[in-house]
Amino acid sequence: MVIQDRGAASSTRSLDPTEERKGRQGRKERFQVPVFVAVFAIFAFFVSRVAAQETKPGAGKMEIGGFPMGGTFFVGGDDDKEVDFNVYTAGANLSYYLTERAAIEGEFSISFGLAQDVFFKKAEVLHVQMPNVWSYFGNVVWLPAGAAGRAVAPYITAGAGAVSLQPRQQTKPFGYDVDTVGFQTFLAENIGGGIKIFRGADAPDWGFRIDYRYLIVNANSNAPAFFAKAKSRGGHRVSFGILFTAKR
């Protein structure tokens, strides 16, 4: 009798519809959790892919750049007291786009007067150091085809500012004596152009810039005769750099 009662009780518990319904709900909830996580992960993956595909190359509202590789070649000397010389140039710039085609830009550069051969007082002088050259310009940049959504954007530019020559110990023979002569500053203008190359979806905010400028350095009668004392001088500057553009 006792055995039959236990069996009956066990049979009754196993057939209880309320407990079976609770068990099915628990199993269903445990199954729904990983399914929800999987669906969410798939959705997030596709959203991120679509967002990446919708990010187009081209300029944003603000742009900052640097040109670690460049050179400036000063011309217009007379091989006498006015010397032609070259410097290694590096610098940075900050641009703000007024419209899709127009931007204003501020730039700063330093150029190093590395050893070279020059003509001074009608004679060739071998392996001599030149003054360092600093420049500061404000420019207007015009992009004929615009820059938004474009991988390659050519531009023309012009601006005004100043060029300063820094004396060094090695430049004393040229009148730039570091002990007696300070920075010599000349008003200057520039005109030129170049190409901005914006990367694709893998790095849409980054790009490259190839730039050429013709510099017009105005005469300063208070400067040593070595450079732009009696007449204006010219210079050709070529640079290659990188840029970062903020699209938001």
- Provide the pLDDT for residue 243: 97
d(CA 129, CA 22): 90
- Provide the pLDDT for residue 96: 97
Q: Which pTM was predicted?
A: 0.76
Q: What is the mean pLDDT of each run of 10 residues along the chain (248 residues)?
A: 46 50 51 48 45 61 96 95 97 96 98 97 96 98 91 97 97 94 97 95 91 98 95 98 88
- Provide the pLDDT for residue 188: 99
Instruction: Give the domain 62-246 fold.
Output: Porin (2.40.160)
Listed residue (146, 237, 156, 143) closest to 194, CA to CA: 156
Q: What residues have CB less than 8 Å from 50, skipping those under 6 apart?
A: none
- Provide the pLDDT for residue 34: 54
Which sign, positive or negative, has the C-alpha torsion 85, 71, 180, 188?
positive
Query: What is the residue extent of each domain of the chain?
Result: 2-54, 62-246
d(CA 52, CA 205): 12
Task: State the Cα angle at 4 between 3 and 6, rounded to 5°.
Answer: 65
- Provide the pLDDT for residue 53: 45
Which sign, positive or negative, has the C-alpha torsion 231, 235, 71, 60?
positive
